[in-house]
Structure 1
Amino acid sequence: MWQGRAGRTAGWLILRFLSDEQIDFDVDLRELQGQGRLDVLCGFLSAIGRRLGKSVPLFPEGGGTQPLLGFDTTAGKVRVMWSAPDECGGAIPPKSAAHLR
């Protein structure tokens, strides 16, 4: 397994190449303050998704089952995939993990 860090400020993106078929990465959302950095993340998700022809969902850390956002191959862009729960309460966690599927 190869692991590396990327981003304009070291540490906001950690890549793990687990196999030829699976790339996991962690994104520290606390480091992505402002529209400029969000645009960089969306550009990264789009570039990987387009290059591989796969959706790239961004899931909350800790095993969430619903992605927060991600590159959608059908839409051809990054979109919000998270929907609010019926009840008030849950906050989006500050750190998330993305997985190619």
Structure 2
Amino acid sequence: MADLLWDDVSCFFDPDLMGTLPDLRVPDASVEDWQVVLDRVVAKRWRWQYSEGETVLPLPRAETVLSRPADAERPCLRVWPTSDVLAIFRFLDDEVIDFDVDLRELQGQEQLDVFCGFLRDIGRHLGKPVLMDPQGGGARPVLGFDVEAEQVVLLAEPLVT
């Protein structure tokens, strides 16, 4: 059974309401949690590309990425759980795992199921919530992986469009 049904949550995937790139985060994270995510990407055999600025590099250890000087080229990890769904991890902070998805890629039940599966996989392996906020919304999650429920759940009332 699907975590969420498209007809119930489609408003949260409307780029005009949520912004094209909503903010996804795992709060109260650590360098070790970041490493769990990197190890998961490899274990799941998701397609990925790590870069610093415009230079594509092998995937480093989390502690290496997160200890880079503030003025260094910005690191970025692109992960494709499927060929048509992309998550972009930013490495902005070792205490929050942050990433974006493009809502234009997440239209319909099939892509929603992929997205929920991705959040569920990360959340289960970390044992932590994975939350989605509107783009630039700052800590107002609308949905996320709930550790106790072991699924992605609504955290806000659906918007009326």
Please give the TM-score of this superposition, normalised by the length of structure 2: 0.47
- Following superposition, the deviation at residue 43 of structure 1 comes to 0.5
Structure index of larger Rg: 2
Match of 1:53 among 112, 124, 127: 127
Count of residues paired in the alignment: 86
Q: CA 1:76–1:62 in structure 2 vs 1: closer, same or farther (change >3 Å)?
A: same
Match of 1:4 among 35, 53, 77: 77
- Following superposition, the deviation at residue 50 of structure 1 comes to 0.5
**Root-mean-square deviation (Å):** 2.2
Aligned counterpart, 2:7: none
- SS for the counterpart of 2:118 is helix
- Following superposition, the deviation at residue 42 of structure 1 comes to 0.3
Return the structure number with greater relative CO, CA threshold 8 A, min gap 6: 2
Kindly report structure 1 stretches of 4+ aligned residues shifted beyond 6 Å: none
- State percent identity of aligned pairs: 52
CA distance in 1, matches of 2:152, 2:129: 9
Aligned counterpart, 1:94: none
Aligned counterpart, 2:146: 72
Please give the TM-score of this superposition, normalised by the length of structure 1: 0.70
Structure 1 gap segments, 5+ residues each = 92-101
- Following superposition, the deviation at residue 64 of structure 1 comes to 4.2
Structure 2 gap segments, 5+ residues each = 1-64, 66-74
Q: Which has the higher strand share?
A: 1
Q: CA 1:73–1:24 in structure 2 vs 1: closer, same or farther (change >3 Å)?
A: same
Q: Which has the higher helix share?
A: 2
Which residue identity lines up with residue 76 of structure 2 in the other structure? Q
